[in-house]
């Protein structure tokens, strides 16, 4: 893998961000709105529930972590969409750039943009609503890592979907986090779900993060098996997503879709 080629992909997105307020503002505005909204909801719930349960780490912390996962996914897909929107595939894929280098470039771009969102969310949640990441202990690090990897996997899968189905399919990608959230127990324990949803939840890494989070808030330690399973699943999803993207790319090159991408279909 050539670092300069990865840097080229990242540099392109840096140039785009640097010159465009319309790209910079959405990096943190929607995440900030979410934190403010859920911050007031948790404050209200704390007032109603009394001292029995602190909703700030349980609910606001979970919202923050889930938003982070969503921002990572959108960071990858948005960087990919920039090449869709500017019809850049021909220029890009006729260079020595390998698919791995391209995907790594998208992930690095997303790491930077999602870090901006995380910092803004943390500043608001801590400064206004008193959330502290220290409440979760060091376990927050593997939690963030798992969500990051799952966000990367969703982003690559979403990009693959758009590469396969054409530019209009981007509208399938935006709601993916909302579609996944009921299954992963962001707001409630998995035991709340009907059995078939629980089976699906066990296949999704964020389920292990949010179950672990609730254990910590209840004063227990997050079991190592929970962390290991969640991390292994997250890595597996990234590998699966890269495999799917590679298959889709080769299909696009075989069918001629890559050189006639704006047609959306070559049949």
Partner 1 sequence: MAMRPVLSVVGLRRQYGKTVAVDNVSFQVAAGEVVGLLGPNGAGKTTTISMILGVLASSGGTIRIGGTDIVAERSRALARANFAAVYAPLPGNLTVAQNLHVFGLLYGVRALSQRIDAVLKQFDLQALRHVRCGVLSSGEQTRAGLAKALLTRPQVLLLDEPTASLDPATAHDIRVKIRAYAESGAAGVLWTSHNMYEVEEVCDRVLFLSHGRILLEGDPKTLPRKHGKTTLEDLFMAVVREPLTLGGGSSCM
Q: How far is the CB of 152 from partner 1 (least distance, A)?
A: 22
- The one among 137, 223, 250, 264 contacting partner 1 by CB under 8 A: 250
* DSSP codes of every residue in 137-204: GGGHHHHHHHHHHHHHHHHHHHHHHHHHH-GGGHHHHTTHHHHHHHHHTSSS-GGGS-HHHHHHHTTS
- Residue 266 lies near partner 1 (rule: CB under 8 A): yes
95 vs 132 by CB, closer to partner 1: 95
Which one of residues 37, 49, 94, 239 is an interface residue with partner 1 (CB under 8 A)?
94
Nearer to partner 1, 23 or 215 (CB): 23
Q: Which residues contact 9 (CB under 8 A, 6 or more apart)?
A: 79, 97, 101, 102, 104, 105, 106, 108, 109
Site string for partner 1, 98-117 (x = CB under 8 A): x-------------------
Contact string (CB under 8 A) for partner 1, positions 10-49, x = contact:
-xx--xx---x-----------------------------
**CA dihedral defined by 136, 139, 141, 145, rounded to 10 degrees?**
-120
Contact 210, 185 (CB under 8 A): yes
Q: In the complex, what is the shortest distance from the CB of residue 192 to partner 1, in angstroms, rounded to a whole number?
A: 46
Task: Residue 103: name the closest of 190, 26, 31, 10 by CA.
Answer: 10
Region binding partner 1 by CB under 8 A among candidate stretches 2-10, 51-59, 128-136, 195-203: 2-10
141 touching partner 1, by CB under 8 A = no
Q: Shortest approach of partner 1 to residue 241 CB, angstroms?
A: 22
Q: To the nearest whole angstrom, how small is the minimum distance from the Cβ of residue 31 to partner 1?
A: 24
Q: Which of 33, 49, 90, 239 binds partner 1 (CB under 8 A)?
A: 90
User: What contacts 84, CB < 8 A, 6 or more positions away?
Assistant: 162, 167, 170, 261
Binding mask 218-247 for partner 1 (x = CB under 8 A): ------------------------------
Kindly give, in sequence order, each residue whose CB lies less than 8 Å from that of residue 245, ignoring residues fewer than 6 positions away: 99, 103, 156, 157, 159, 160, 163
DSSP line for 85-130: HTT-HHHHHTSS--HHHHHHHHHHHHHHHHHHHHHHHHHHHHHTT-
CB-nearer residue toward partner 1: 137 or 256: 256
Query: Based on CB atoms, which residue is closest to partner 1, 93 or 187?
Result: 93
Binding residues for partner 1, per CB under 8 A? 2, 4-5, 7-8, 11-12, 15-16, 20, 82, 86-98, 250, 253-254, 256, 258-259, 266
């Amino acid at each position: 893998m050539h670092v300069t080629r990865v840097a080229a992909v990242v540099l392109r997105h840096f140039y785009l961000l640097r010159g465009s307020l319309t790209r910079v503002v959405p990096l943190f505005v929607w995440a900030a709105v979410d934190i403010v909204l859920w911050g007031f909801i948790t404050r209200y719930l704390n007032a109603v529930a009394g001292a029995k349960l602190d909703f700030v780490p349980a609910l606001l912390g979970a919202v923050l972590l889930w938003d982070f996962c969503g921002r990572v996914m959108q960071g990858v897909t948005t960087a990919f969409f920039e090449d869709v929107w500017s019809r850049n595939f021909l220029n890009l894929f006729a260079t020595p750039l390998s698919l791995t280098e391209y995907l790594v470039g998208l992930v690095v771009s997303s790491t930077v943009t999602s870090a901006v969102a995380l910092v803004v969310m943390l500043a608001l949640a801590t400064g206004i609503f008193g959330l502290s990441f220290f409440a979760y202990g060091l376990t927050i690090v593997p939690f963030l890592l798992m969500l990051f990897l799952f966000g990367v996997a969703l982003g690559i899968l979403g990009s693959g979907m758009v590469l396969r189905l054409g530019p209009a399919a981007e509208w399938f990608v935006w709601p993916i986090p909302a579609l996944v959230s009921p299954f992963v127990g962001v707001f409630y324990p998995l035991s709340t779900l009907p059995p078939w949803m629980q089976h699906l939840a066990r296949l999704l890494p964020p389920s292990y993060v949010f179950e672990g989070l609730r254990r910590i808030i209840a004063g227990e330690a997050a079991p190592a098996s929970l962390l290991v399973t969640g991390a292994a699943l997250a890595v597996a999803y990234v590998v699966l997503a890269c495999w799917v993207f590679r298959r889709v790319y080769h299909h696009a090159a075989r069918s001629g879709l890559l050189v006639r991408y704006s047609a959306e279909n070559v049949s």
